[in-house]
Amino acid sequence: MATSTAIENPVRGWRFWAPRLATAVLLPVLLLGIAEGALRLFGVGFPTDLTVPCTMQSQPASCYNLFFPAPFFPPGMIKTPQAYAIPAQKPQGTFRIFVLGESAAMGDPDPAYGFSRYLEVMLRERFPSMKFEVVNTGSVAINSHVLLPIARGLANQRPDLFIIYSGNNEVVGPYGPGTALTSSAMSLPVIRSIIFARSTRLGQLLTKVGTQKREWGGMEMFLDKQVPARSPLMAHVYANFESNLRDTIAIARGSGARVIVATVATNLKDCAPFASLHREDLGQNALRSWSVLVQQGSDLETARSYADALKAYLSAAQIDDQYAELEFRIARCLWMLGDYRAAREHFLRSRDLDTLRFRADSKINDINRSVAASSPGVELVDADEIFAKESPNGIVGSELVYEHVHMTPEGNYLLARAMFLQIASKLPAETGQAPSLQEGDISSHISSQTECEQLLAFTRHDRLRIAREMLERLQKPPFTTQLNHSDQVLRLTIKADAPDERPDETVAEYQWAIRKKPDDRILHYNFGLFLFDYNRTAAAEQLRMSRSWDGFPVFAPDGTPLE
């Protein structure tokens, strides 16, 4: 009897509490759903899907949604890629490629000459019977937390290939521990929950009310966001990056597309660390001894006594080997002494210890390699190694990367060439492509850099324009605090001071390239920008022809809207 009563009591208790618990859980969910529905009904907020329906040359298409980045950036600081439109109907024989990544993948400082543009030219010239659509979705300041929904939004667009070139912004991008953009929650489920919440109309309203509007301030915004390599937060960074990369690949492969994952090439030799921190337990006496040794080394290095300077620096490293700038000094001396293998190791260590983490470190690239190797249907392009092989003494410098991560024309061409070999060797047989291409066949199968740049209208005028833009960037923090800042400025000043070509020469180059590819809106856009100072009517016509989709707003360089 007692046993029967004991059983009945819990049952009665559950019957009593179950409806109350259900009400406590379901009622708030119901109220939130009603509030969300009401906000949508009354047009409050905006959709944050990657694309929205539009028309392109009067045909249905999916166009980039300007509000997509809202869950990742504060109000007033939303960064967008180059606007793109994807035709709803994919013509037979079309090979559709989506490029995913940050500003380096986008092609910054000018996406018109990013690696995806070189790649498109190479493919078009090698396989003229095919149509290639290369859609670059790269954007400034994003990271793998943003790439995952981008891939999800592209998966239903009948892709043939995804190219992922990512890893530079895992610390400083949205939801990273060194970000100036969002909260820096470290748990991946928490991050994804926040992203979902901010994508809802209710979340947008609360964000707008509770967040002060800010303006984009470039890399200066991150100066107080140092994260040392030894920080326990870095373990979350690596785990989140790997999870996001694997999930992005799963979505891409689920769409039936091939996937290429690339490691990230960064400037080692000509990019001193942006910031350094001493180890936490370094006492005052040890710090004074360290500082004396570093100053001695600096004086000796200035006097070109590199062997003696190296001894002083190595002695300082015995006191504190966590200071990124000291590693750069050691590497520089080893370079001057001709010990390039050791110099490379210290340049790598200098980058990995940099506490303003704008460059993908060794572990990020190791994750790219290991995920590519362990994921079926995924291919690797090891840009880090490819760039090293093409660099003086095996150490990547300003020949291929302007400042820290953004590639020079030579770097973009080199990456595009590696991608071309990977893609062309496995194109379906029905495309009529030649047998597999080997590295030795490069000269006969791949357009040269000069040929690509003629087709892209990458004129001498544009090279000067970009050099001047990069030189201007270097005049701002954190570049101004780098140990080798004066060397960087001198190098770019020489390029920026080169003589310009005559305007009629630039016009002829653009006209030739446009005749070759009349529907290239990027050619029309850059040509319009160039013409603005000479012939505003002709400039306006070119800018109108550069519209990404029907009704897309186009502005003159002075901000005047063009009808």
Q: How far apart are CA 530 and CA 112, in angstroms?
A: 14
Query: One-letter amino acid identity for 107?
Result: G
> For residue 205, what pLDDT is reported?
80
CA angle 331, 335, 341 (to 5 degrees): 80
Multiple choice CATH, 51-214+227-270+374-427+448-456, 3.40.50.300, 3.90.45.10, 1.10.3720.10, 3.40.50.1110: 3.40.50.1110
Q: Cα(71)–Cα(415) distance, rounded to whole angstroms?
A: 31
* Segment (H or E) for 98: strand 94-101
| Nearby residues of 338 by Cβ (< 8 Å), 6 or more positions away | none
- Residue 281, pLDDT score: 94
3-state secondary structure of 255: coil
Per DSSP, what are the bridge partners of residue 85? 63
**Per-residue confidence (pLDDT) for residue 548, from 0 to 100:** 79
Structure-token pair, residue 140: 């400034």
Nearest to 334 by CA among 309, 352, 316, 351: 309
According to the model, what pLDDT value does residue 354 have?
Answer: 98
What integer pLDDT is reported at residue 549 of this predicted model? 75
* CA-angle at 269, arms to 262 and 466, nearest 5°: 75
Q: What is the DSSP pairing of strand 561-562 with strand 554-555?
A: antiparallel
CA–CA dist 368, 351 (Å, integer): 17
Q: Which pLDDT does position 438 carry in this prediction?
A: 53
- DSSP letter string, 453-508: HHHTT--HHHHHHHHHHHHHHTTSTTGGGSTTHHHHHHHHHHHHTSPPPPHHHHHH
Q: 198 near 179, Cβ under 8 Å?
A: no
pLDDT at 180: 85
Q: What is the CA radius of gyration of the chain?
A: 27
Q: Are 430 and 481 in contact (CB under 8 A)?
A: no
Compute the distance between CA of residue 538 and CA of residue 409 in angstroms, rounded to an integer.
28
Q: How many helices (H) and strands (E) does the chain have?
A: 21, 10
Distance CA 336, CA 301 (A): 10
Say which CATH topology domain 284-353 has. 1.25.40
Q: What is the DSSP secondary structure assignment for residue 173, as one 8-state letter?
A: S
Rounded Cα–Cα distance for residues 108 and 252 (Å): 25
Strands 554-555 and 161-165: unpaired
pLDDT of residue 13: 59
> With contact defined as beta carbons under 8 Å apart, do 306 and 333 qualify?
yes
Whether 400 and 414 have beta carbons less than 8 Å apart is answered as yes
Domains 51-214+227-270+374-427+448-456 and 284-353 share a fold: no
Q: Domain locations in the chain? A: 51-214+227-270+374-427+448-456, 284-353, 503-562
Chain-centre distance for alpha carbon 481: 23
**Spatial separation of the C-alpha atoms in residues 364 and 384, rounded to whole Å:** 11
Residue 83: strand, helix, or coil:
coil
Per-residue pLDDT tens, the chain, 563 aa: give them.
455 554 555 555 556 555 655 566 565 656 656 765 776 666 667 889 999 999 988 899 999 998 999 899 887 777 777 889 999 999 888 999 999 999 999 999 999 999 999 999 999 999 998 999 999 999 999 999 999 999 999 999 999 999 999 999 999 999 999 998 877 767 899 999 999 988 988 878 877 765 666 777 889 889 999 999 999 999 999 999 999 999 999 999 999 999 999 999 999 999 999 999 999 999 999 999 999 999 999 999 999 999 999 999 999 999 999 999 999 999 999 999 999 999 999 999 999 999 999 999 999 999 999 999 999 999 999 999 999 999 999 999 999 999 999 999 999 999 999 999 999 988 865 455 544 455 455 456 799 999 999 999 999 999 999 999 999 999 999 999 999 999 999 999 999 999 999 999 999 999 999 999 999 999 999 999 999 999 999 999 999 998 877 777 777 776 676 66
Report the C-alpha gap between 292 and 311 in whole angstroms. Answer: 13
3-class secondary-structure state, position 380:
strand
Question: Would you state the pLDDT for residue 559?
Answer: 67
In this structure, the dihedral spanned by the alpha carbons of residues 470, 73, 71 and 247, taken in order and rounded to 10 degrees, is 40
Instruction: Kindly give the residue spans of alpha helices, DSSP state H, lying in 338-459.
Output: 340-353, 362-374, 383-389, 409-424, 442-445, 449-455
